Structure formats: C-alpha cells, structure tokens
Chains A and B, each alone.
Chain A
Amino acid sequence: MFRSLSISGAIQDRILRILRLLAAATLLFAGLAVPLHADEGAAAPIAVPATSVASANAQPFDFGTLLVQLPDADYDEKEAIIGHLIELHRPNTRAVLNALLDGRLYQRQSDKKVFIADESGDGFKLTDPVTLADAGTASSDDLDKIGTNNSLRKSLRGAVAQFALSDPDRKVRLQAVTEMLRTLDETTIDALRKRLPDEKDSKVRRAIAAGLALADLDSPDADVRLKAVGTLKDSLNSDVYNRLKTMVEPGADGQPGEADPHVFTAAVHAVSSIEHWRSFYESVETLFFGLSLGSVLVLAAIGLAITFGVMGVINMAHGELMMIGAYTTYCIQQLMPNHIGLSMALSIPAAFVVSGLFGVAIERGIVRFLYGRPLETLLATFGLSLFLQQLVRSIFSPLNRSVSTPQFMSGSLQINDALSITYIRLYIVVFTLIVFAVLQLILKRTSLGLTVRAVSQNRSMAKAMGIRTEWVDAATFGLGSGIAGVAGVALSQLTNVGPNLGQGYIIDSFMVVVFGGVGNLWGTLIGGVGLGVTSKLLEPVAGAVMAKILVLVFIILFIQRRKQGLFPQKGRAAEGH
C-alpha cells in the first residue's frame, strides 16, 4: 500500500514545498544531522520526483503532526499514517520506521511528544524523530511504547527493506533483497534495477539478478522469459520454485501457466533440477536432525555406560543427575544474569562437580551395600530418583525454570536457501564429540582410567595389585554422574528445566546403552547416533508417536537376536562385585 507513486497534482505541490523546506532545514541543521544519513538522499531507492529548487515556504509540522497521531491510532490507521510518512520522503523516515519496527518508538506522557528511545543505564536516551538530534533522557515511567501488530510489522519490514538496499553492511543488503523478493512489484523491481549497477558484492548481485529474473518471468516477451528461466534454474529459493511451478503445472483453466513451448520445456527442466537439489538438501537436513538427536542421546547415555557398563550397577536415578546438572546451570545463570555466555562456560565444570558429588554420595551411601543384587539396586535407585525429584520440587518449585540461551547459540546458520542449521544443535553435536573424546582420554591415558578398567575386568586381581577398589568404585560412579550433570547443561538449552527432566531421558539412555553394548563407549556412540538417525528418518514418514514405537520394537527384536548389543565388551570377567 505504500508502493503507489501515482501522485496527484495537489500532493505533488505539497511534496515540492516540503522538499524546499528540507533543503533549508538541511542547511540550517547541517551540524546536527546524523552523518549516517548523508548518503540517504543521494541513493534513496524510493523514486523521488526530480526537483531543482527548494524554497523556504513549506509546512514544517507535517512529519511531526503525523507522528503525534501515531500513538492513539488503531492498527489500520497506523498503517495509513506510516504510508503518509513514507510519501513525505524525509531522510529520517528510515530511522523512524526502524525504531517503530524494533519497538523503540515511544510517546512521552508529560507532553505527548513522540521520541526514539534507546535504553541507557536505568533510563532511556531520547532522540528527536524529526531532526534526529539528541533530546535528553527520560525514565521508563514517562514513556509509553507505540505498539505494532503482525500485519503492521510486515508492511514496515517491506518498507524498511527498500531503504536498506544502500546500507554499507552487506548482510543488511542481502536481507533487504530477500525481503523484497517476497513482494515483487513495480516499486521494488525499480529499486532493484537501480541498485544493480552500484552493487559490488557478488552474493548481493546474484540475489538482485534473481529478483529481476523472477520479475522477468511475467514479461510478455518469450525470449526474456527464456533468459529468466535460464538464470533461475540453479536457484533454491522457494519463491522462485513456486513461481516456476505455476508455469509448468495446470492452472485453474487446466492449461499450464506457460504457453510458449521453448520456455515451457526450459521451465520443466529447471523445476525438476531444483526439485532434485531440494530433496537432496532435505535429506542432508534430516541427517543433521538425526545426528543432533543422536548426540543428545549419546550425552545422556554415556554416563550410564560407565556406571552400568563398567560397574554393572543399574542406576535409575541417572535422569535426576542430569536434572541436577540442568538446575546447576539455572542457578549459575541466576548469579550472573548479565553474562549468559560466561555462565554457560562456568556451568559445565560446576555441573560436573555437583552431579559428581551426588554420584559419589549415592555410591557410598546406597549402592555400595547392594553390589551383586541388581534388583535391589534398581529399586533403591528408583526410590532415590523419586526422592531427588521431590527435593528439587521443594527447594525450587514444581514449575519449570527458564534458562536463557546465549546470543551466539541462538538462531541458525543459513547454508543456502534450502538448508539451514540451528546453532544450538551444532554446538551440542560438537560438545558431545568433545565430551566423548575427553572421556576416552581419561579412561585410556590416565591412571584413574587404568584402575577403573582394571577393577572392571578383574576385581580380585586388581585388589591383589594393591588398588583400593572401594574408592575406585566411588570414583567411577562419580565420573559417570558428573558426565550426566554435563549432559544436563546441554539439555537445559533444549528442553524444559523442571523436576521431570530426567524422566524424559532415562528410558532412552538405557536403550542406547543396551543397544550399543554394555560397557563399550564406542558402542554407546554408534548406538546413540544410529538410534537418533533412525528416529528422525522415520518421523516424516510415520509421525513422531509411531516413530518412537517402531524404534522401541526394533531394539527389542535386535536384543533378542544379539543379547550383548552392537559392540560387546571383550574379555570381561563376569563376576559379581
């Protein structure tokens, strides 16, 4: 709705007058104007009717009066006011629109004036929206935010995109072009065409060329359309794909959208090539989802692989040790709310220590007396898991706690138009591999690892060699529990941190350990990743619920055939402790 530039004579006069004032004002406020907007007028993509002379008899309050009406208007009126503001073509329009979009446009209650306000310390730093000059400070009590709704924000984004085409930051320009590709019309096409010769960055150039080609698909000239299809056949953009599809598929009249046979054949080829690539990238995406789910399973199960695998102890409280790790993350975040990234880094060792200590206490206090009695261990640790859940409910609250994700871990990495990978999952995959590597290092290269392996392989011999087996047991349990705590830190970013966090992962952890082979860390890794990938491959086909059921059935059948799991531990002396 802001795009129409067919302006009547009266409004043209108005604009001329405003432009004359603009020139006068610019001279007057030259020292105060923000330098950033100096090139705004020169490269303004929204076409400005060419004028030469500016005179001083203009109405200075038009922009201002429109702004003052903004707070009390309803959403439809707000859209109309924004439209008028854009038509005025002022250099500060972009700043005001950006502020409104970001929620930084406020009305001061004392004098009902509108300001752009940025947080600074306890209050807000004010900027005058008309002159973009510093206007002092105010506290949050004085200011009322001017609200937006979805459709208003969508229109604002489209309008702001046109301004952003000449932004010095290339990411901003690319974003602007992508935004404009969604709503191509004469104004946007014009703006893109004007921008193309000045654009130096190759990625942005390609995007602009794609946008212009997309527009050319509507051209009446068949050669132009053919050329456009040629440009677009490698694009993975979904708007391009949809548009090409309408050319080859029968429309409402039963005929395909494209009449010319050459262009039609070219479009058919283009569509099938794009579809081939899109399904390829979709499989890569599914594989990544499976990998990330698998890495979460591995993280959860690897602590259990040590306690169950190496010591033969069925620890039903393993999930709660993960929960304790997640709550440790929450507590540390509460202690340093302004340094979320640092708190994450600190949570990892902290969670290891806290859960590890809990693990040692559990081993010394309960499990030690029940070696060789797996059923009693199961029952005792199950009771312990209920106790730990209730403990957390009493200390914190039965409700979930909210744990924030650091800025650098949120959002996604856009590899191309068809594939994007969320940062948090990528970090967790890398984190899992690091934890696995560290654990292998501990077990294979340190003396603790050596004694742990010795005790698990032949307890009496290890005792005869002078190893204090009781302390090794406690240390092993502590190690497994500590790893569970570290897994809890990762889980806190993915799911709710609540007393029930452990319950969601305990079954999966046992599944992975049993499937992968009890006592073998590599088995846990392969088993976990395998189960994750299988789960994610089944999900689009069978639905989330059915996929879980099928995976469980598959494991049951697998264990019937091969009781020791994927990678059984070799040479393990099977003896009671």
Chain B
Amino acid sequence: MKVHSLKKRLLAGVAGFGLIAAASMAHAADDTIKVGILHSLSGTMAISETTLKDTILMMIDEQNKKGGLLGKKLEAVVVDPASNWPLFAEKAAELLEKDKVAVVFGCWTSVSRKSVLPVFEKDNGLLFYPVQYEGEESSKNVIYTGAAPNQQAIPAVDYLMKDIKVKRWVLEGTDYVYPRTTNKILEAYLKAKGVKADDIMINYTPFGFSDWQSEVAKIKTFGSAGKKTAVVSTINGDANVPFYKELGNQKISAEDIPVVAFSVGEEELSGMDTKPLVGHLAAWNYFESIKNPANDAFIKQWHEFIKNPKRTTNDPMEAHYIGFNLWVKAVQKAGTTDTTKVIDALPGLETPNLTGGIAKLLPNHHITKPVYIGEIKDDGQFDVVWKTKGTVPGDAWSDFLPGSKDLEADWVTLKCGNYNKVTKKCSGQNY
C-alpha cells in the first residue's frame, strides 16, 4: 500500500542516511593525528609554560591551514599538570595510553622531564623538550630542542670571564636537579680555568622563595671583596620576581654585580617591573629583539594568533617552532606517525631557526644552536651584546664532569644513549 511503502521508504532513507552519517563521523574521528601538549597551566611554572601551550596550538593551526599532515588534520590534546611533578607522569601516561597521541610537546623543569621519562620509554612515546637543561641525559624517546650546558651555561661563563673580567662567582640556583647539575658542571669548569674555591659561592633556595633579604645581602658582601663579581642565576619560576626586586632595593646595580640568568626570558620579564633589572644579562639561543625576516614573520603570526600585540616571544617558543617543524618533516619522510619510524627518520633533518641560521638534529637527539648574551632593557626586551659566530652542536654529556666526559650519545650508529668511549660499552638504555 502506498502509505506504508512511503513510510517504509522514508524510514529506510533516514536509517540509511543515519548509517552513512555515523560511518563518516567514525571515519572522521580516525582522520586526525593527535598532538599532546604537556605544559603547566597553573602553579609556580605557569608564568613560563602557558605560552608554550599556545605556541604549539599556533603551529598546529598553521599546519592544518597547509592541509594537515599525511592528508589528516592535526588535533591538539591539552592537559594541565599544574607544576606538580608526579602529576606530569600521570598526565603523560594519560596522553600516551588513553588519548594515543602521536607526539608530545612538553615539560619545562628538569624534574618534570625526569618524572615523565620512564613513561615515555615504557610506552615508546616521543617527547620534544624545548627548554635549556643540564645535560647528562640522552633518551631514545626524547628530542632535546633546548640548550645543553655547552650551548648556554659555558658560553655565558666564558663571556663573563673574558669580556667582563669576572674573578669571583656566585652560583645562585633553585633547589632541584637542573641548577644542581649545571652548577656542578660550572664549578668544575671554573676550577679547570684556575678559579680558586674561595672565589666561588654556591647557594640554593626552594621553588617560590620570596624572602631574599639574607641571600642578596650575602651576595653583596661576597661581591665587595675588591674583585669583579658576577652572579650566575639558575633560579626558576616566579622566585625570580622577588629576587630582582630585592637586588633593586639593596641597590645592587648591573654595573657592580651583573646577574646572568639562564631561565629569565622576555615572558618572565613581561610580568615584572624591569627598572631595577636594566643591564642584567641573560644567555639564550634566541631573543625577540633579533632582527630577521623569519623572526619578524613569526612574531607577526604570534601576535595575530594570540590576539594581543603586546605578547612577547622567547627562546623556548623558538625551540618548539624548530621541534614542531622537525617532527613534521620526519613524519613526511617516514610516511607514518609510528614513533619508532619517526625517531629513525629524525637525525640529520634540518630546518631554519628564527635567527637566520639552520637547526640540524644530531644523532644524540640534540640540535645545533647559536648562543646569544643579551642585556635587559627597560622595555623588557634584550639588547644582544655578544654572540657565537655560527651554531654550536649540543653535547649531551659534559666534558667537564669526570663521570660523563667519556660518555657519548649516538642513536644512529651506536644506538646507545650513554656509550662509554673508553670501556667501549653501552650502559643503561640500549635499544
């Protein structure tokens, strides 16, 4: 009968349409590549890490505009480990096991990286780590786009020793693995250059430390012994704000006792009153003030994406820019997002950095980077006062520590993260 058949046909049509829609939606869900973002969006490190989340979102957006990757769109999976180190490991496991992301861009503090390392190695994930760190590590599952000590700390100390003629050193750090290891390396380096133990003072303070009166008074006393003194600061997070404020209040100017910081960039300065900081130094591989067409384009793109022309760019953002581009190139070269194949495709790839040079991924999973020393200006930007002539290749195992100078990392020929050149044995990770 006509009515029934019409009803049946309509029903069949709707059902068919529903099936097709469901099928295409399921098909669409498979058609994205998930990119994990593991940065603190709250807590003491939020001041530094929130920008990095936004940088990766911008890079994903741009890549999707170019048509995605391998014909699929990229999808961001953002989690907030809240500056809580054990939570970093939990969130990393969530990204790799539950969300099944193809790659993770994340971490800032070395303690957060050390916390997630076992997770990435067990689940065979891929982490791009964009921050300067203390070295003494090379994992198959991590690409270190930030500076190793020989690409930041050592050149900064060289600059102070040769150009500023510093004779007495204060190594002031936050109490965790990065400052402790970096200071070990620097102490060994300084002693190797003939600095006496009396002329080196090392201090540690906890995260978020805010009562700097005694510490700064100690620095002032140490610096008034008649020899040119400098402070090498590995203070991380928002403890920097009261530190610089106290330096200003106790009238320690950069001309008397310059402070070289390794973890203070344009982003940290944007939340501070920079008047007492003018003239103090920072060592990075990138500054927003470096004039270059690639940098200008990046800054313009950033301002449009974040809808705020006052937001600054900084070194870890450039590291993520390089890391993301390297990952895209590796995926295109390998033809898949499978972690093992991508990791094999990565070493040897090159991509331009934002200061006019090329960043090349080395077999030890580090990249080549130029080194810049900048002085803080009163607008929160840096004035470059020194730079290396070309790029410096990252060295995972410092040549100045007795335990590591014989070690080498090579994931291409030796397939080992800590190969001992003397005993010719690979200890630890050996894949």
Within 158-172 of B, Cβ neighbours of A (below 8 Å) are at 164
Contact of A420 among B218, B251, B383 (CB under 8 A): B251
Whether B250 lies near A242 (C-beta < 8 A) is: no
- Most chain A CB within 10 A, of B206, B241, B258, is at B241
Whether A293 lies near B211 (C-beta < 8 A) is: yes
Whether A75 lies near B385 (C-beta < 8 A) is: yes
Distance of B239 from chain A, by nearest CB (Å): 9
Whether A238 lies near B224 (C-beta < 8 A) is: yes
Contact of B254 among A150, A398, A399 (CB under 8 A): A150
Whether B273 lies near A404 (C-beta < 8 A) is: yes
B211 CB contacts on chain A under 8 angstroms: 289, 293, 296, 494
B254 CB contacts on chain A under 8 angstroms: 150
A103 CB contacts on chain B under 8 angstroms: 378
Whether B241 lies near A496 (C-beta < 8 A) is: yes
Contact of B46 among A292, A398, A402 (CB under 8 A): A398
B264-276 vs A, CB cutoff 8 Å, 1 = contact: the mask equals 0000000111000
Given A153-B279, A239-B226, A500-B44, A402 and B250 touching (CB < 8 A)? no
Interface residue? B58 (CB, 8 A): no
Interface residue? A256 (CB, 8 A): no
Interface residue? B213 (CB, 8 A): yes
Interface residue? B175 (CB, 8 A): yes
Whether B238 lies near A496 (C-beta < 8 A) is: yes
Whether A544 lies near B226 (C-beta < 8 A) is: no
Contact of B50 among A242, A292, A398 (CB under 8 A): A398
Whether B279 lies near A411 (C-beta < 8 A) is: no
Interface residue? A545 (CB, 8 A): yes
Within 370-391 of B, Cβ neighbours of A (below 8 Å) are at 375, 377-378, 383, 385
Whether B224 lies near A149 (C-beta < 8 A) is: no
Within 435-451 of A, Cβ neighbours of B (below 8 Å) are at none
A425 CB contacts on chain B under 8 angstroms: 213
CA–CA, A540 and B217, complex, Å: 10
Interface residue? B204 (CB, 8 A): yes
Whether B249 lies near A412 (C-beta < 8 A) is: yes
Interface residue? A157 (CB, 8 A): yes
Within 482-505 of A, Cβ neighbours of B (below 8 Å) are at 494-496, 498-500, 504
Within 506-533 of A, Cβ neighbours of B (below 8 Å) are at none
Whether A157 lies near B47 (C-beta < 8 A) is: no
Closest to B82 in A: A398
Whether A150 lies near B249 (C-beta < 8 A) is: no
Whether A543 lies near B42 (C-beta < 8 A) is: no
Whether A411 lies near B251 (C-beta < 8 A) is: yes
Contact of B214 among A147, A402, A540, A545 (CB under 8 A): A540
Whether A400 lies near B217 (C-beta < 8 A) is: no
Q: What 3 A-B pairs have minimum CB-CB distances, sorted nearest first?
A: A242-B226, A238-B224, A495-B210
Cross-chain pair count, CB within 8 angstroms:
117
Interface residue? A423 (CB, 8 A): yes
Whether A149 lies near B383 (C-beta < 8 A) is: yes
A147 CB contacts on chain B under 8 angstroms: 377, 383
Within 463-497 of A, Cβ neighbours of B (below 8 Å) are at 494-496
A282 CB contacts on chain B under 8 angstroms: 221
Whether A400 lies near B249 (C-beta < 8 A) is: no
A373-405 vs B, CB cutoff 8 Å, 1 = contact: the mask equals 000000000000000000001000011111011
Whether A499 lies near B218 (C-beta < 8 A) is: no
Given A147-B383, A289-B214, A410 and B208 touching (CB < 8 A)? no
Whether B242 lies near A400 (C-beta < 8 A) is: no
Within 343-367 of A, Cβ neighbours of B (below 8 Å) are at none
Distance of A36 from chain B, by nearest CB (Å): 26
Interface size on A, residues (CB 8 A): 50
Interface residue? A368 (CB, 8 A): no
Given A410-B248, A496-B238, A545-B204, A150 and B214 touching (CB < 8 A)? no
Interface residue? B215 (CB, 8 A): yes
A536-576 vs B, CB cutoff 8 Å, 1 = contact: the mask equals 10011001110010000000000000000000000000000
Contact of B375 among A150, A239, A412, A496 (CB under 8 A): A150
A273 CB contacts on chain B under 8 angstroms: none
Whether A412 lies near B251 (C-beta < 8 A) is: yes
A97-121 vs B, CB cutoff 8 Å, 1 = contact: the mask equals 0000001000000000000000000
Within 243-297 of B, Cβ neighbours of A (below 8 Å) are at 245-246, 248-251, 254-255, 258, 271-273, 279
Whether B258 lies near A150 (C-beta < 8 A) is: yes
Contact of A424 among B214, B249, B279, B378 (CB under 8 A): B249
Contact of A399 among B50, B224, B245, B246 (CB under 8 A): B50
CA–CA, A536 and B215, complex, Å: 10
CA–CA, A292 and B210, complex, Å: 13
Closest to A288 in B: B213
Given A147-B383, A242-B225, A398-B42, A496 and B206 touching (CB < 8 A)? no
Contact of A543 among B44, B203, B249, B250 (CB under 8 A): B203
Interface residue? B41 (CB, 8 A): yes
Within 111-127 of B, Cβ neighbours of A (below 8 Å) are at none
A543 CB contacts on chain B under 8 angstroms: 203-204
Known: A296-B211, A495-B242. 16 other contacts (CB 8 A): A150-B164, A242-B226, A285-B217, A289-B211, A398-B42, A399-B50, A400-B241, A410-B248, A420-B251, A422-B250, A494-B210, A496-B238, A499-B42, A504-B208, A536-B213, A544-B204
Given A150-B254, A399-B46, A399-B271, A498 and B214 touching (CB < 8 A)? no
Interface residue? B209 (CB, 8 A): yes
CA–CA, A495 and B237, complex, Å: 12
- Most chain B CB within 10 A, of A242, A286, A398, is at A398
Interface residue? B205 (CB, 8 A): yes
Interface residue? B68 (CB, 8 A): no
A243 CB contacts on chain B under 8 angstroms: 226
Interface residue? A272 (CB, 8 A): no
A153 CB contacts on chain B under 8 angstroms: 255, 279
Whether A498 lies near B242 (C-beta < 8 A) is: no
Distance of A552 from chain B, by nearest CB (Å): 13
Contact of A293 among B43, B213, B215, B378 (CB under 8 A): B213
Distance of A10 from chain B, by nearest CB (Å): 33
Closest to A390 in B: B42
Distance of B84 from chain A, by nearest CB (Å): 12
A411 CB contacts on chain B under 8 angstroms: 249, 251
Closest to B224 in A: A238
Distance of B316 from chain A, by nearest CB (Å): 15
CA–CA, A464 and B12, complex, Å: 80
Distance of B86 from chain A, by nearest CB (Å): 17
Distance of A272 from chain B, by nearest CB (Å): 17
Interface residue? A151 (CB, 8 A): yes
CA–CA, A539 and B203, complex, Å: 11
CA–CA, A424 and B210, complex, Å: 14
Interface residue? A194 (CB, 8 A): no
Given A424-B249, A425-B213, A402 and B203 touching (CB < 8 A)? no
Distance of B349 from chain A, by nearest CB (Å): 34
Contact of A539 among B42, B208, B214, B383 (CB under 8 A): B214
A222-248 vs B, CB cutoff 8 Å, 1 = contact: the mask equals 000000000000000011001100000
B50 CB contacts on chain A under 8 angstroms: 398-399
Contact of A412 among B225, B250, B378 (CB under 8 A): B250
Distance of A182 from chain B, by nearest CB (Å): 9
Whether A150 lies near B273 (C-beta < 8 A) is: no
Whether B215 lies near A544 (C-beta < 8 A) is: yes
Closest to A286 in B: B214
Whether B42 lies near A154 (C-beta < 8 A) is: no
